[in-house]
Amino acid sequence: MGNEKIKYKGQEILENLPEILKQRKYHFEIKGLTKSTRDIINQAVQGILDQIGANPLTSFHLFSGLMEALLNAVKANARFVIFKDELLNKLTSSGTALESEAEDLLNVILETEPLRDAMQRYIVPDKIKKTVQRILTLSDKRRSKKGTLSQEEIDFLEMVKARTRAYQLKISLKIEIRTAELYIRLRNDSPIMGLDLQRIRKSRERHAELAREGRSGEFFRPDFLDEKESAGFGIAMIDEGFYNLALDPLECFDIQTSKHATTVYLRYPIEALQKIEF
Ligand SMILES: Nc1ncnc2c1ncn2[C@@H]1O[C@H](COP(=O)(O)OP(=O)(O)O)[C@@H](O)[C@H]1O
Ligand SMILES: [Mg+2]
Protein backbone atom coordinates (compact mmCIF):
# COMPACT_ATOMS: atom_id res chain seq x y z
CA MET A 1 0.00 0.00 0.00
CA GLY A 2 1.10 3.50 -0.73
CA ASN A 3 0.59 4.95 2.70
CA GLU A 4 2.20 2.18 4.70
CA LYS A 5 3.91 3.43 7.83
CA ILE A 6 7.48 2.41 8.48
CA LYS A 7 8.97 2.66 11.95
CA TYR A 8 12.58 3.40 12.73
CA LYS A 9 14.34 3.62 16.04
CA GLY A 10 17.11 6.00 17.10
CA GLN A 11 20.12 5.71 14.85
CA GLU A 12 18.07 3.82 12.22
CA ILE A 13 16.38 7.13 11.48
CA LEU A 14 19.68 8.60 10.30
CA GLU A 15 20.63 5.48 8.36
CA ASN A 16 17.35 5.63 6.45
CA LEU A 17 17.04 9.40 6.25
CA PRO A 18 17.08 9.74 2.43
CA GLU A 19 14.27 7.18 2.22
CA ILE A 20 12.33 8.76 5.10
CA LEU A 21 12.62 12.22 3.55
CA LYS A 22 10.52 11.12 0.58
CA GLN A 23 7.52 11.43 2.88
CA ARG A 24 5.57 14.61 3.59
CA LYS A 25 4.50 13.57 7.10
CA TYR A 26 6.70 12.51 9.95
CA HIS A 27 5.94 11.28 13.42
CA PHE A 28 8.61 11.05 16.12
CA GLU A 29 8.17 9.56 19.56
CA ILE A 30 10.67 11.10 21.91
CA LYS A 31 11.76 9.75 25.26
CA GLY A 32 14.33 12.26 26.44
CA LEU A 33 16.48 14.98 25.08
CA THR A 34 19.97 13.57 25.33
CA LYS A 35 22.65 14.68 22.92
CA SER A 36 22.08 11.75 20.58
CA THR A 37 18.33 12.41 20.45
CA ARG A 38 19.02 16.07 19.72
CA ASP A 39 21.41 15.08 16.93
CA ILE A 40 18.86 12.79 15.33
CA ILE A 41 16.11 15.41 15.49
CA ASN A 42 18.55 18.03 14.24
CA GLN A 43 19.49 16.02 11.16
CA ALA A 44 15.95 14.90 10.40
CA VAL A 45 14.58 18.44 10.68
CA GLN A 46 17.50 19.77 8.65
CA GLY A 47 16.63 17.24 5.96
CA ILE A 48 13.01 18.33 5.96
CA LEU A 49 14.02 21.99 5.75
CA ASP A 50 16.41 21.31 2.86
CA GLN A 51 13.58 19.57 1.09
CA ILE A 52 11.43 22.68 1.16
CA GLY A 53 14.33 24.95 0.28
CA ALA A 54 14.50 26.78 3.60
CA ASN A 55 17.47 29.07 4.00
CA PRO A 56 19.93 28.43 6.86
CA LEU A 57 19.07 31.59 8.77
CA THR A 58 15.40 30.77 9.02
CA SER A 59 16.26 27.16 9.78
CA PHE A 60 18.21 28.40 12.75
CA HIS A 61 15.19 30.24 14.22
CA LEU A 62 12.90 27.32 13.59
CA PHE A 63 15.31 24.86 15.06
CA SER A 64 16.02 26.81 18.24
CA GLY A 65 12.29 27.31 18.74
CA LEU A 66 11.61 23.64 18.32
CA MET A 67 14.36 22.73 20.80
CA GLU A 68 12.92 25.11 23.43
CA ALA A 69 9.50 23.57 22.96
CA LEU A 70 10.95 20.05 23.17
CA LEU A 71 12.88 20.86 26.31
CA ASN A 72 9.69 22.17 27.88
CA ALA A 73 7.92 18.93 27.01
CA VAL A 74 10.70 16.78 28.46
CA LYS A 75 10.87 18.91 31.61
CA ALA A 76 7.10 18.91 32.02
CA ASN A 77 6.85 15.12 31.86
CA ALA A 78 9.71 14.70 34.33
CA ARG A 79 8.16 17.31 36.60
CA PHE A 80 4.83 15.52 36.46
CA VAL A 81 6.41 12.23 37.53
CA ILE A 82 8.10 13.90 40.50
CA PHE A 83 4.99 15.87 41.35
CA LYS A 84 2.83 12.75 41.39
CA ASP A 85 5.36 10.90 43.46
CA GLU A 86 5.69 13.68 46.00
CA LEU A 87 1.94 13.90 46.26
CA LEU A 88 1.61 10.17 46.70
CA ASN A 89 4.26 10.29 49.41
CA LYS A 90 2.51 13.09 51.23
CA LEU A 91 -0.83 11.34 51.07
CA THR A 92 0.50 8.12 52.50
CA SER A 93 3.01 9.46 55.00
CA SER A 94 0.69 12.07 56.49
CA GLY A 95 -1.78 9.33 57.24
CA THR A 96 -4.31 11.09 55.03
CA ALA A 97 -4.91 7.90 53.18
CA LEU A 98 -4.08 4.25 53.19
CA GLU A 99 -1.65 3.24 50.54
CA SER A 100 -4.42 1.52 48.63
CA GLU A 101 -6.55 4.67 48.71
CA ALA A 102 -3.73 7.04 47.94
CA GLU A 103 -3.61 6.15 44.23
CA ASP A 104 -7.33 6.84 43.87
CA LEU A 105 -7.03 10.05 45.81
CA LEU A 106 -4.12 11.09 43.63
CA ASN A 107 -6.20 10.59 40.51
CA VAL A 108 -9.08 12.60 41.92
CA ILE A 109 -6.72 15.43 42.78
CA LEU A 110 -5.13 15.40 39.35
CA GLU A 111 -8.50 15.36 37.62
CA THR A 112 -9.78 18.33 39.62
CA GLU A 113 -8.07 21.49 38.50
CA PRO A 114 -8.45 23.63 41.65
CA LEU A 115 -7.23 20.74 43.80
CA ARG A 116 -4.35 20.09 41.50
CA ASP A 117 -3.33 23.72 41.53
CA ALA A 118 -3.61 23.90 45.31
CA MET A 119 -1.41 20.83 45.60
CA GLN A 120 1.12 22.41 43.34
CA ARG A 121 1.63 25.16 45.85
CA TYR A 122 1.76 22.64 48.66
CA ILE A 123 4.57 20.72 47.04
CA VAL A 124 7.76 22.75 47.03
CA PRO A 125 8.34 23.92 43.42
CA ASP A 126 12.03 24.47 44.04
CA LYS A 127 12.55 20.88 45.02
CA ILE A 128 10.77 19.73 41.88
CA LYS A 129 12.81 22.10 39.73
CA LYS A 130 16.04 20.77 41.19
CA THR A 131 14.98 17.18 40.75
CA VAL A 132 14.03 17.79 37.12
CA GLN A 133 17.40 19.43 36.52
CA ARG A 134 19.07 16.42 38.11
CA ILE A 135 17.20 14.05 35.81
CA LEU A 136 18.31 16.02 32.74
CA THR A 137 21.93 16.24 33.86
CA LEU A 138 22.22 12.58 34.82
CA SER A 139 20.53 11.39 31.61
CA ASP A 140 22.99 13.37 29.55
CA LYS A 141 25.90 12.11 31.58
CA ARG A 142 24.78 8.53 31.19
CA ARG A 143 24.24 8.80 27.44
CA SER A 144 27.47 10.61 26.71
CA LYS A 145 29.39 8.12 28.85
CA LYS A 146 31.49 11.05 30.01
CA GLY A 147 31.24 10.25 33.67
CA THR A 148 30.26 7.15 35.53
CA LEU A 149 27.10 7.29 37.57
CA SER A 150 26.93 6.03 41.12
CA GLN A 151 24.59 3.16 41.92
CA GLU A 152 22.28 5.61 43.67
CA GLU A 153 22.13 7.78 40.55
CA ILE A 154 21.48 4.80 38.30
CA ASP A 155 18.67 3.63 40.60
CA PHE A 156 17.20 7.11 40.64
CA LEU A 157 17.13 7.32 36.82
CA GLU A 158 15.64 3.84 36.60
CA MET A 159 12.92 4.84 39.05
CA VAL A 160 12.04 7.89 36.95
CA LYS A 161 12.03 5.79 33.80
CA ALA A 162 9.81 3.14 35.35
CA ARG A 163 7.36 5.76 36.64
CA THR A 164 7.29 7.59 33.32
CA ARG A 165 6.40 4.30 31.69
CA ALA A 166 3.86 3.43 34.39
CA TYR A 167 2.19 6.82 34.06
CA GLN A 168 2.42 6.39 30.27
CA LEU A 169 3.95 9.81 29.73
CA LYS A 170 5.01 10.28 26.15
CA ILE A 171 6.21 13.01 23.87
CA SER A 172 5.07 13.05 20.29
CA LEU A 173 6.38 15.27 17.53
CA LYS A 174 4.55 15.48 14.24
CA ILE A 175 5.90 17.39 11.29
CA GLU A 176 4.03 17.85 8.03
CA ILE A 177 5.03 19.57 4.85
CA ARG A 178 1.76 21.14 3.75
CA THR A 179 1.05 23.08 0.59
CA ALA A 180 1.87 26.47 2.05
CA GLU A 181 3.31 25.75 5.47
CA LEU A 182 5.49 23.55 7.59
CA TYR A 183 3.26 22.29 10.36
CA ILE A 184 4.67 21.07 13.67
CA ARG A 185 2.65 19.58 16.49
CA LEU A 186 4.38 18.71 19.73
CA ARG A 187 2.49 16.97 22.51
CA ASN A 188 3.51 15.85 26.00
CA ASP A 189 1.31 13.92 28.41
CA SER A 190 1.41 16.41 31.24
CA PRO A 191 -0.54 19.61 31.85
CA ILE A 192 0.67 23.15 32.23
CA MET A 193 0.20 23.60 35.95
CA GLY A 194 -1.38 26.30 38.01
CA LEU A 195 -1.45 29.81 36.74
CA ASP A 196 1.37 29.25 34.30
CA LEU A 197 -0.80 29.32 31.19
CA GLN A 198 -2.31 32.67 32.18
CA ARG A 199 1.13 34.04 32.93
CA ILE A 200 2.44 32.78 29.61
CA ARG A 201 -0.45 34.42 27.73
CA LYS A 202 0.06 37.74 29.49
CA SER A 203 3.77 37.63 28.99
CA ARG A 204 3.39 36.84 25.28
CA GLU A 205 0.93 39.71 24.92
CA ARG A 206 3.49 42.06 26.48
CA HIS A 207 6.17 40.79 24.12
CA ALA A 208 3.77 41.38 21.20
CA GLU A 209 3.20 44.97 22.29
CA LEU A 210 6.92 45.62 22.17
CA ALA A 211 7.14 43.89 18.81
CA ARG A 212 4.45 46.17 17.40
CA GLU A 213 6.71 49.06 18.38
CA GLY A 214 9.56 47.35 16.59
CA ARG A 215 11.49 46.53 19.73
CA SER A 216 10.66 42.93 20.57
CA GLY A 217 14.26 42.27 21.61
CA GLU A 218 13.86 44.62 24.55
CA PHE A 219 11.63 42.05 26.16
CA PHE A 220 14.78 40.27 27.30
CA ARG A 221 16.20 43.29 29.10
CA PRO A 222 16.67 43.02 32.85
CA ASP A 223 13.99 45.61 33.62
CA PHE A 224 11.40 43.16 32.31
CA LEU A 225 12.83 40.28 34.25
CA ASP A 226 10.72 40.21 37.41
CA GLU A 227 7.55 39.82 35.40
CA LYS A 228 8.70 36.60 33.88
CA GLU A 229 9.70 34.91 37.09
CA SER A 230 7.56 31.88 36.54
CA ALA A 231 7.01 32.14 32.85
CA GLY A 232 10.66 31.59 31.86
CA PHE A 233 12.39 32.69 28.72
CA GLY A 234 11.81 29.61 26.60
CA ILE A 235 8.45 30.56 25.20
CA ALA A 236 9.60 34.15 24.72
CA MET A 237 12.55 32.79 22.72
CA ILE A 238 10.20 30.85 20.46
CA ASP A 239 8.18 34.03 19.95
CA GLU A 240 11.34 36.00 19.24
CA GLY A 241 12.26 33.48 16.54
CA PHE A 242 8.97 34.24 14.79
CA TYR A 243 9.50 37.99 15.14
CA ASN A 244 12.92 37.58 13.57
CA LEU A 245 11.24 35.87 10.64
CA ALA A 246 8.76 38.76 10.37
CA LEU A 247 5.97 36.40 11.44
CA ASP A 248 3.36 36.91 14.14
CA PRO A 249 3.87 34.27 16.83
CA LEU A 250 0.40 34.82 18.24
CA GLU A 251 -0.86 33.54 14.88
CA CYS A 252 1.76 30.89 14.19
CA PHE A 253 2.45 29.46 17.63
CA ASP A 254 -0.26 28.19 19.93
CA ILE A 255 -0.18 26.32 23.25
CA GLN A 256 -3.13 24.27 24.45
CA THR A 257 -3.35 22.36 27.67
CA SER A 258 -5.79 19.97 29.30
CA LYS A 259 -5.77 17.72 32.35
CA HIS A 260 -3.76 15.14 30.49
CA ALA A 261 -1.64 16.82 27.89
CA THR A 262 -0.04 19.95 26.57
CA THR A 263 0.13 20.58 22.86
CA VAL A 264 2.22 23.13 21.07
CA TYR A 265 1.47 24.05 17.46
CA LEU A 266 4.11 25.76 15.35
CA ARG A 267 3.34 26.80 11.81
CA TYR A 268 5.91 28.28 9.46
CA PRO A 269 4.74 29.54 6.06
CA ILE A 270 7.06 27.91 3.54
CA GLU A 271 7.49 31.20 1.71
CA ALA A 272 8.84 32.78 4.89
CA LEU A 273 11.28 29.92 5.36
CA GLN A 274 12.61 30.35 1.83
CA LYS A 275 13.04 34.10 2.00
CA ILE A 276 16.65 35.15 1.65
CA GLU A 277 17.08 38.46 3.44
CA PHE A 278 15.63 40.04 6.55
N1 LIG B 1 4.98 21.51 27.12
C2 LIG B 1 4.70 21.95 28.35
N3 LIG B 1 4.02 21.16 29.20
C4 LIG B 1 3.72 21.59 30.46
N5 LIG B 1 4.08 22.78 30.94
C6 LIG B 1 4.76 23.61 30.14
C7 LIG B 1 5.10 23.24 28.80
N8 LIG B 1 5.77 24.27 28.23
C9 LIG B 1 5.85 25.22 29.17
N10 LIG B 1 5.25 24.84 30.32
C11 LIG B 1 5.15 25.65 31.56
O12 LIG B 1 5.35 27.00 31.21
C13 LIG B 1 6.47 27.54 31.93
C14 LIG B 1 7.21 28.54 31.06
O15 LIG B 1 7.95 27.91 30.04
P16 LIG B 1 9.23 28.62 29.47
O17 LIG B 1 8.86 29.98 29.00
O18 LIG B 1 9.87 27.73 28.46
O19 LIG B 1 10.16 28.81 30.73
P20 LIG B 1 11.03 27.73 31.53
O21 LIG B 1 11.07 26.48 30.72
O22 LIG B 1 12.36 28.40 31.65
O23 LIG B 1 10.34 27.56 32.85
C24 LIG B 1 7.27 26.33 32.34
O25 LIG B 1 8.00 26.58 33.52
C26 LIG B 1 6.21 25.29 32.56
O27 LIG B 1 5.65 25.40 33.85
MG1 LIG C 1 11.50 26.40 28.72
- Binned average pLDDT, 10 residues per bin, the chain of 278 residues: 74 92 93 87 94 91 95 93 87 72 81 78 79 89 81 93 89 97 97 85 94 94 64 87 96 94 97 80
Centre of ligand 1 to C-alpha 249, Å, is: 16
**CA-proximal residue: ligand 1, atom 13 (nearest):** 231
Centre of ligand 2 to C-alpha 220, Å, is: 14
- Cα 29 vs. chain centroid, distance in angstroms? 12
* CA–CA dist 240, 228 (Å, integer): 15
Buried b (16+ CB within 10 A) or exposed e, 102-121: beebbeebbeeeeebeebbe
The reported pLDDT for the residue numbered 226 is 58
Nearest ligand atom owner, CA of 73: 1
The reported pLDDT for the residue numbered 111 is 82
* CA–CA dist 43, 51 (Å, integer): 12
For ligand 1, whether the C-beta of 234 sits within 6 Å is yes
The reported pLDDT for the residue numbered 1 is 46
Nearest ligand atom owner, CA of 255: 1
For ligand 1, whether the C-beta of 62 sits within 6 Å is no
The reported pLDDT for the residue numbered 129 is 84
For ligand 1, whether the C-beta of 233 sits within 6 Å is yes
For ligand 1, whether the C-beta of 78 sits within 6 Å is no
**CA-proximal residue: ligand 1, atom 1 (nearest):** 73
The reported pLDDT for the residue numbered 168 is 86
* Rounded-to-10 torsion of CA 116, 118, 123, 124: 130
The reported pLDDT for the residue numbered 235 is 95
Q: pTM for the full model?
A: 0.89
Mutational pocket test of ligand 1: of 30, 33, 192, 229, the residue with most ligand atoms within 8 Å of the beta carbon = 192
The reported pLDDT for the residue numbered 114 is 77
